[in-house]
Structure 1
């Protein structure tokens, strides 16, 4: 049976103690080597938003399409129920204890903001289809783990917050010691393992953080980044027309960015 106790990451309210975005590295999170290549696939509209705002968007986890995002695995909940039943508790007592278990271990999905990247080194046809799809106009932005950290830290965002970064693990079960908010946020079901995801996230807390945040957490937020530090290469979607590459290059030039713009290695019309 899992002990019910409030862990530090559940109780700690949002505290702005820094003048710039600062990476926090709890033991629960695995951060790849700084030289690890990262990609983010996006539509032209989102790319234009990134370049013109010079800001990276963090989405509220409750708005993501995967309904299991930032949720305690059902297998873990079922095990907790079985343990309570084996302890000889009545049906009402089991339900009551299970409700408390879920309340204590609540990862505050609606107070978690995410930016998701892939650590796959090569282009992915599947990612182009998923993140660009019918729009045809889109790009893949390349950076590294170290550059992403620096871009956030040096972005001079007017609302500085701590941020977190962790490699996603693809599992169906979390043990007692793994039921921290960090573990839950960086766990997904195995059928998403093709993503090889790294996620960057911001945390707010039901105790105080949501009320104190100077923006609407439910809508996510843009975080200023040092764009010249972030973007090292831009790959143009394989589904678009050749002229689109020039449009992307112009957008980068107007933003005074010298990033490489290249065509996709995938030949698909």
Structure 2
């Protein structure tokens, strides 16, 4: 299946020069090198159990709209539960690739995702976009864009579609400043009565040219300097031409300053 990229929120343009980071442990980095593909896990396997689900505020707003339309209480109850069931159904059939939109590396994200066993990919949206090559497995339409962080209780904006729900997260996750790729598995019949996960892939796979995708590999600041040579050697064995550097985040200041 050819990959068709669509901006999730046309009112929020994304420039090719937006810097993106992906923090990952070394086994996942090796898997990326070997497969030459981005693997997007199911939304239901991600840490946040509210991925793709409306918050209380949006649910309240939805019920108020139905009430204003004079829908009886039993119908409103059935309607909101229908939306909830369908949101949870799509969580098992939606795939997400998470990146972080910071101009430079982030100490907190090193702690969470990389720390003493990780590397970070530095790229730009333009390089990521141009890197896609070949055809995907179970997805075709891939949406992209920054994530908006809001209060689940006080945000009364109703997401227009199930797709839009994946570009809104609770404000407690705002430290991530996430930029994501998201796609639904549309290779199967949409039957909300079928809740079986049998045959559903755990990942959607997007083949890519790694030399276009990766602008730099940065090694965790908590790893020894000798790791840089190892990562360089492994990268070259898989045909990688990108530079490999070690983060100097915790390099101590000079004991003497030679400036005039």
TM class, shorter-chain normalised? Answer: 0.7 to 0.9
Distance between the aligned counterparts of 1:255 and 1:180, measured in 2? Answer: 40
Contact map agreement 1:43 1:137 (CA 8 A) in 2: yes
Measure the CA separation in 2 of the matches of 1:206 and 1:81: 32
Asked if residue 66 in structure 1 is aligned to residue 48 in structure 2, the reply is yes
The 8 Å contact of residues 105 and 180 in structure 1, kept in 2 or not, is answered as: no
Instruction: Give how far 1:202 is off.
Output: 1.7
1:29 touches 1:166 (CA, 8 Å); kept in 2? no
1:260 aligns with 2:260: no
What residue in structure 1 maps to residue 112 of structure 2? Answer: 130
Deviates more, 1:95-104 or 1:59-68: 95-104
Equivalenced residues, count: 243
**What does residue 157 of structure 1 align with?**
135
Cα 1:158–1:67, aligned 2, differ >3 Å: closer, same or farther? Answer: closer
Are residues 167 and 93 of structure 1, via their aligned partners in 2, closer, same or farther at CA, if it must alter by over 3 Å?
A: same
Q: Deviations over 1:15-47 (max 9, x none)?
A: x5xxx3221345557452011111100000111
Q: 1:129 to 1:216 in 2, by over 3 A?
A: farther
The runs of 5 or more residues in structure 1 that have no matched partner are 1-15
1:174 CA displacement: 4.9
In terms of mean alpha carbon deviation, does 223-232 or 81-90 score higher? 81-90
Once residues 192 and 158 of structure 1 are traced to their aligned partners in structure 2, the CA distance between those partners, rounded to angstroms, is 29
Match of residue 182 from structure 1 = 163
Unaligned runs of 5+ in 2: 252-260
8 Å CA contact 1:38, 1:143 repeated in 2: yes
Choose which of 4, 15, 27 in structure 2 pairs with 1:45: 27
Aligned to 1:169: 148
Aligned to 1:192: 173
2:194 is equivalent to residue 223 of structure 1 = no
1:131-146 equivalence runs, <5 A: 131-133=113-115, 136-146=116-126
CA offset digits 1:23-78 (Å, max 9, x no partner): 13455574520111111000001111111211111010000011111111121113
Confirm or deny: 8 A CA contact 2:5 2:142 kept in the other structure. yes
- Cα distance in 2 for partners of 1:123, 1:42 equals 13
Deviation at 1:163, TM superposition (A): 1.6
What TM-score does the superposition give when structure 2 sets the normalisation length?
A: 0.82
Using a 3 Å threshold, how does the CA distance of structure 1 residues 248 and 164 change in structure 2: closer, same or farther?
A: same
User: What is the rounded CA distance, in whole Å, between the counterparts of 1:181 and 1:121 in structure 2?
Assistant: 30
Question: How far 1:122 sits from its partner (Å)?
Answer: 1.2
Going from structure 1 to structure 2, the CA distance change for 1:100 and 1:226 (only over 3 Å counts) comes to same
* C-alpha deviation, 1:182, in angstroms: 2.7
Q: 1:179 Cα shift?
A: 2.6
1:101–1:61 CA distance, 2 compared to 1 (3 A): closer
Query: TM (normalized to structure 1)?
Result: 0.79
Q: Counterparts of 1:29 and 1:217 in 2: how far apart (Å)?
A: 33
Q: Can you list the C-alpha shifts for 1:59-102, whole angstroms capped at 9, x where unaligned?
A: 10000011111111121113334555677766544422322344
